[in-house]
Structure 1
Amino acid sequence: MNKLLPTLLIALLIVTCCLSCKVLPSKIENGYSYIQKDGRAEKEWKLVWFDDFNATSLDTTKWTKIPANTADWGKHMSSNPLCYELKDGQLLLKGIKNPDTLTDKRPFLTGGIYSKGKFAFQYGKIEIRAKLGCAQGAWPAMWMLAERNKYGKYPRNGEIDIMEHLNFDKIIYQTTHSYYTLELKQKDKPPHSGTTKLDPNQFNIFGLQWYPDKLIFTLNGKETFRYPRISGVDPSQWPYDQPFYILIDQQLGGSWVGKVNPNNLPVQMEVDWVKVYQ
């Protein structure tokens, strides 16, 4: 009887693994890219990845602090601890006046995180619950970029802006960018951007439902804007057939949002949770 026990345990483990594989909505490539299985468009969403920020420090198996870069949105990005705080189950991403311009000459510092190289997904639903901070020059954003360069350098792989908010606005922008919209200037065939009203002083759930033939943007579970894949146009219209990673950042300044008023700082975005379904 004892000799049979290890064999039975192994058999049970194999059966359990097989059953688990059958119910998974995705296959995982490279250990972190969740590719939704075919034929799930009409099936119930299943949670495949999340962070509720209930830890005492940022989960670095899921996120990396976004480094500074030369883009309008990224010139103030910083890993400075003053730009980040985990408090009461929320991640606070802050835009602040730089306290040490001798070491770093930039006037402002901002906090942001991305899942690049740690989590990406192709098709599914993402929802982010957060409260936005308002300030002149504040530009909080939740967006996605391609994990790999399937079609070449930016903007050929596309960009999905789940939410962007400017200054003290009571609207958000939800947008797609690509070679088709930026280089070929095809911004209306189909329309590539929409706006929707919100109360920035309240927590809201910003979302995207991503299918092989359309992007459906949502706010608090309701559809707000849709970007479809269309036929008969340049193929660059739809680069959204590959894994994308997540970016969440409290940006400051830039040609779109305008100059920063230092008297309005600090400003912060309070992120409650991030959930991805397939």
Structure 2
Amino acid sequence: MRKLLTIFCISISLLNCSQAPNQETGWQLNFLDEFDTFNEDNWQDQMLWVNNEDQCYLPNGEHGTREVSNGTLKVRVIDLRDKQPCDNMSKTGEKKPDTQYVAGRIASKNKKEFIKGKWTARLRVKNSGQAGMFPAWWLLGALNNEPPVQEANETVCWPMEGSGELDIFEHHSDGGPDHFAARVIKSLGHCDGGDWQAEMAVEKADLDQFNDFSVEWLNNDIIFRLNEKEIYRLEDQGDEYPEPFFAILNFAKINDSPMTMNWEMEVDWVKHEVWAD
């Protein structure tokens, strides 16, 4: 696994890299998780039922739904073959029906939340394009009112300001293998009113190999990058998303197609940076 600390911490104590003084302009690291362990100071499991998805999210990596090993995080969808009860709840209090599919979803909610800056993850998805696949790396506004609600100010409905959404990487199986979407969800000005298509780019990538997927706020633009190459820019829209955001890594199953194998998204690292003038 590439050790990013060596890039940012030359001649600086590795024990306190994030506090190192900014000696140059540009992006400066303020958060990095290289998944040597599952760090509960950075992440929590998030169990909820959204978008009528077919899977049940499980805590603590049950049934192998999330695992940290050999320096990477694995987030999986597992077919248990037999339907099991699921305690995931929707934001309106509905209980997820029994399902044979279980999955992993982790969030930095109330752990690592940042206003603007630059988020990047290095990840891959094996055997992309299978029917029903929906792995994602994305951001959600920290005032969002979906489970778990842990702070008094988590009252804002999606996708209103405070609960905005930026999708840095989504692989939707309907488009076939080796592609992904990057987007912001355009708010239509009311609860649950979001346009998924208006501000979206679809790009090709070899998803079986590790790639770096990022989004940044820079000069009031929002810029999406693949391996540091700009793929999509929303000009003068940065201030439309001023709230702190937390990060989510999850693997969903979005239709009732049978699985021929377990699905896995493997994540090498996640980082956040801030711009220093």
TM-score, normalised to structure 1, is 0.73
Contact 1:68 1:74 in 2 (8 A): no
Change beyond 3 A, Cα 1:184–1:122: closer
Which residue number in structure 2 is paired with residue 71 of structure 1? 51
Which residue number in structure 2 is paired with residue 115 of structure 1? 108
The AA in structure 2 aligned to 1:50 is: L
Change beyond 3 A, Cα 1:225–1:85: same
In structure 1, C-alpha distance between the alignment counterparts of 2:26 and 2:215, rounded to whole Å: 15
Give the gaps of 5 or more residues in structure 1: 1-19, 26-41, 231-236
Change beyond 3 A, Cα 1:180–1:229: farther
The within-5 A match list for 1:157-236 is: 157=161, 158-167=164-173, 168-180=176-188, 183=193, 188=198, 192-211=199-218, 213-229=220-236
Q: Secondary structure at the match of 2:25?
A: coil
Contact 1:156 1:239 in 2 (8 A): no
Change beyond 3 A, Cα 1:163–1:156: same
In structure 1, C-alpha distance between the alignment counterparts of 2:196 and 2:74, rounded to whole Å: 37
Structure 1 or 2: more helix by fraction: 1
Q: Secondary structure at the match of 1:92?
A: strand
Displacement of 1:228 after TM fit? 2.1
Which residue number in structure 2 is paired with residue 97 of structure 1? 79
Pairing partner for 2:259 from 256, 259, 262: 262
Encode CA deviations 1:67-111: one digit per residue, 9 max, x unaligned: 022334585322252201112100110101136634442121111
The AA in structure 2 aligned to 1:122 is: I
Could you list the structure 1 runs, at least 4 aligned residues long, displaced by more than 6 angstroms after superposition: none
Contact 2:137 2:249 in 1 (8 A): yes
The AA in structure 2 aligned to 1:69 is: W
Matched, 1:53 2:35: yes
Q: Secondary structure at the match of 2:247?
A: strand
Displacement of 1:24 after TM fit? 6.3
More deviation, 78-87/121-130: 78-87
Pairing partner for 2:143 from 121, 145, 148: 148
Contact 1:215 1:228 in 2 (8 A): yes
In structure 2, C-alpha distance between the alignment counterparts of 1:74 and 1:43, rounded to whole Å: 46
Pairing partner for 2:271 from 239, 255, 275: 275
In structure 1, C-alpha distance between the alignment counterparts of 2:67 and 2:134, rounded to whole Å: 19
Give the gaps of 5 or more residues in structure 2: 1-17, 87-97, 145-152
Q: Secondary structure at the match of 2:99?
A: coil
Matched, 1:244 2:252: no
The AA in structure 1 aligned to 2:258 is: N
The AA in structure 1 aligned to 2:262 is: P
In structure 1, C-alpha distance between the alignment counterparts of 2:171 and 2:195, rounded to whole Å: 23
Change beyond 3 A, Cα 1:97–1:187: closer
* Larger Cα-atom Rg: 1
The two structures, once aligned, show a CA RMSD in angstroms of 2.9
Displacement of 1:238 after TM fit? 5.2
Contact 1:126 1:276 in 2 (8 A): yes
Displacement of 1:169 after TM fit? 2.3
Q: Secondary structure at the match of 1:107?
A: strand
In structure 1, C-alpha distance between the alignment counterparts of 2:22 and 2:52, rounded to whole Å: 39
The within-5 A match list for 1:14-93 is: 23=21, 43-55=25-37, 58-73=38-53, 76-79=56-59, 80-81=61-62, 82-93=64-75
In structure 2, C-alpha distance between the alignment counterparts of 1:142 and 1:246, rounded to whole Å: 7
TM-score, normalised to structure 2, is 0.73
In structure 1, C-alpha distance between the alignment counterparts of 2:102 and 2:74, rounded to whole Å: 14
Change beyond 3 A, Cα 1:275–1:70: closer
